[in-house]
Amino acid sequence: MALRPKNISLFERLRENSQLEFEKMKEAGIKVVGLYCIFAPKELVRASGAIPVGLCGKNQSPLSDAETVLPVNLCPLIKSSFGYAITDTCDYFGFSDFLIGETTCDGKKKMFELLKRIKPLFLMHLPPTSDGDRSLNYWVEEIVRLKDFLETQTGTKITEKELKHQIKLHNNKRILLKEIVSLCTEYPVPISGLDMMLVMECKGFSAELEDYVNALQELAHELKVIKRKGRSVCSPEAPRILLTGCPIGKGSEKVLRLIEECGGIVTCQENCTGIKSFDRLVDEDGDPYRSIASRYLKIPCSCMTPNQGRIDLLGRLVEDFKIQGVVDLTWHCCHTYNVESYLIKEFLEKEYQIPLLHIETDYSLTDTGQLKTRIEAFLEMLY
């Protein structure tokens, strides 16, 4: 892909400078909170004066160390996260004063039992279903419990004013991200899926929210210019692909990379790295804790049963992005996404006549050849 927006460099720089920024924060006595999942409310963390950081779990390298304690039949994301922690090879883990975990899936839930031996961990209890007032009330209590924990850890009282301010800032970030992805709904497509992943992933390790938002603004402006000029990162014929399923990031982007190397264009990423994490805003009026709880509980993660929200979101996205094919990525042994794939395939075929390619893989590159063949055959079908 010849065309590359030059402002991508802003995000590359953010990533490169990120560690330095966190070091500065630490020196200034600011608390750093390690996060593993998008269910952790960042506006609440920021309102306590602490800085949230998304922790590493996207690399193959610490897996073998993790497997000395964890079962082999566990998803690579959990093994990677845990491996980084026990080998002390993730700087962000080192920076973190404490961690926030969630009872999303069995694997994470049980892994956190071991992780909390290494570092203080606050475990948020998710209800098994997102429907109904009872679940919401349960989750509101968890958010308030987290508030109390953050206040104790940071020694800062979270004021309603500051929380509302943070909600606004985080909503602005979400609006900008939505604006950027909406530039990819049709040809010309001004940014590749791979670059878009970098842009989206950067939100997890930008110490200063403002720097990230500024970079987004610059990028949005540039992409609009590119689009106005009719320039595109792909040909008009390139099949438009939606990538859904388990989260990806630098180090675990192999499926996304292969789709684009094989001539497809990933215009939409529905996963936790992508749209799922910024699709909904927090209501800026009303009780901020309830508004936060309500927004986060609606994240359509496969850990919820039933998970109609994901079906609804996918239906909307395949329409908005004029999607021709869906690739559903399941990390090996992630039961919830793996089982749900059947229901997603059935829905897309029935309602939209859109084919779904289900890929179950791990972080290793041993199956690259085989994946390439399957992806090529899938794209071939879409031309």
Partner 1 sequence: MSEDYKSMWENLGLDLAAHDALLEVLGKGYQDIYLAQKNRPEGMGYFDFVMSEIHGLRIKELMDEKAAGRKVIGSFCVFVPEEIVRATDATLVGLCTGADFAMEEVERLLPRNTCSLIKSAFGFNLAKVCPYMECSDMIVGENTCDGKKKSYEILNDLVPNLYVMDLPQVKSAEGKALLKAEYLRFKEAVEKLTGITIDADRLKKGTKMVNNKRKAIHRLSNLRKANPAPISGLDALLANQVFFYDDPVRFTDSVNKVCDELEARIEKKEGVVPKATPRILISGCPMAVPNWKLPWIIETAGAVIVGEESCVGERGTRNLTDDSGNTLDELMEAVVDRYFKVDCAIFTPNPDRLDHIVEMVEKYQADGVIHYGLQFCQPYLMEAMPVEKALEAKNIPTLRIDTDYSMEDVGQLRTRVEAFIELIK
Residue choice 23, 113, 148, 237 for contact with partner 1 (CB under 8 A): 113
* Minimum distance of partner 1 from residue 381's CB (angstroms): 21
Q: Are 222 and 6 in contact (CB under 8 A)?
A: yes
- Contact flag: residue 127 with partner 1 (CB under 8 A): yes
Q: Please, which residue, 168 or 345, has the CB nearer to partner 1?
A: 345
Cis peptide before 188 (omega within 30 of 0): yes
Structure tokens at 336: 């919830």
* Minimum distance of partner 1 from residue 89's CB (angstroms): 21
Q: Please, which residue, 175 or 339, has the CB nearer to partner 1?
A: 339
- Contact flag: residue 355 with partner 1 (CB under 8 A): no
- Contact flag: residue 141 with partner 1 (CB under 8 A): yes
Structure tokens at 99: 């961690």
Using alpha carbons only, give the angle 106, 63, 115 rounded to the nearest 5 degrees.
Answer: 50
Residue choice 23, 71, 284, 287 for contact with partner 1 (CB under 8 A): 71
Q: Are 82 and 119 in contact (CB under 8 A)?
A: no
- Contact flag: residue 109 with partner 1 (CB under 8 A): yes
- Contact flag: residue 73 with partner 1 (CB under 8 A): yes
Pairing between strand 356-361 and 325-331?
A: parallel
- Contact flag: residue 115 with partner 1 (CB under 8 A): no
Site pattern 306..345 for partner 1 (x: CB under 8 A):
xx----------------------x-xx-xx-xxxxxx--
The identity of residue 162, as a single letter, is E
Q: Please, which residue, 202 or 329, has the CB nearer to partner 1?
A: 329
Gap between the Cα atoms of 135 and 141, Å rounded: 10
Structure tokens at 269: 């990423």
Give which of 46, 158, 150, 28 is closest to 95, Cα–Cα: 28
Residue choice 29, 128, 236, 369 for contact with partner 1 (CB under 8 A): 128
* Minimum distance of partner 1 from residue 107's CB (angstroms): 5
Q: Please, which residue, 360 or 376, has the CB nearer to partner 1?
A: 360
Judged by CB under 8 A, the number of residues near partner 1 is 40
Residue 113 to residues 62, 116, 117, 145: CA-CA distances in angstroms? 19, 6, 7, 19
* Minimum distance of partner 1 from residue 226's CB (angstroms): 41
- Contact flag: residue 253 with partner 1 (CB under 8 A): no
Q: Are 344 and 310 in contact (CB under 8 A)?
A: yes
| Residue-wise DSSP of 142-189 | HHHHHHHHHHHHH-----HHHHHHHHHHHHHHHHHHHHHHHTTSSSS-
* Minimum distance of partner 1 from residue 360's CB (angstroms): 7
* Minimum distance of partner 1 from residue 376's CB (angstroms): 24
Residue whose entry in the numeric block shows the structure tokens 């919820």: 304
Listed ranges 50-58, 195-203, 305-313, 362-370: which one lies at the site for partner 1 (CB under 8 A): 305-313
Structure tokens at 32: 């750093």
For 129, which DSSP code? -
Interface residue list for partner 1 (CB under 8 A): 69-71, 73-74, 103, 105-107, 109-114, 123, 125, 127-129, 134, 138, 141, 302-303, 305-307, 330, 332-333, 335-336, 338-343, 360
